[in-house]
Amino acid sequence: MFIILFEQITEAQFSETKTNPNLADERARIQQEFGIDWASVSFNDLREPLVAGLAAGLHYLSRLASGPLSQLIGTIPLQASFWRQNGQPDANEQSFNNIVTTDTNLPDLSK
């Protein structure tokens, strides 16, 4: 079984992915790798899974103000906390943990 976890970002969060100067390199890479001109993407385009995932990725990258991304990889409690604090403030960290830990096909990256 393969599960894609995606929580839609808000329109304000999406707009910030288009204007944040710290994301310029990532927007250029999206253009290069996928042929998507991020400046031309609209909020309605987030109905497409690829575009939605890219938008969420850009949003979360913009929130990684302290520490490297590697600090979050493989540590489910830190991922859940980051997810709640930066993307889903009304969400429960335990629900994130439950979703991730109940899928036995997800690799354990914490070792």
**Domain spans, the chain:** 7-63, 66-105
For the chain, the first-to-last Cα distance in angstroms comes to 22
Determine the Cα angle at 92 with ends 106 and 85, to 5°. Answer: 90
**The one-letter amino acid at 95:** S
Q: What is the pLDDT of residues 32-73, one digit of tens each?
A: 999 999 999 999 898 888 898 899 888 878 877 545 555 666
* Per-residue confidence (pLDDT) for residue 67, from 0 to 100: 53
Compute the average pLDDT of residues 11-32: 91
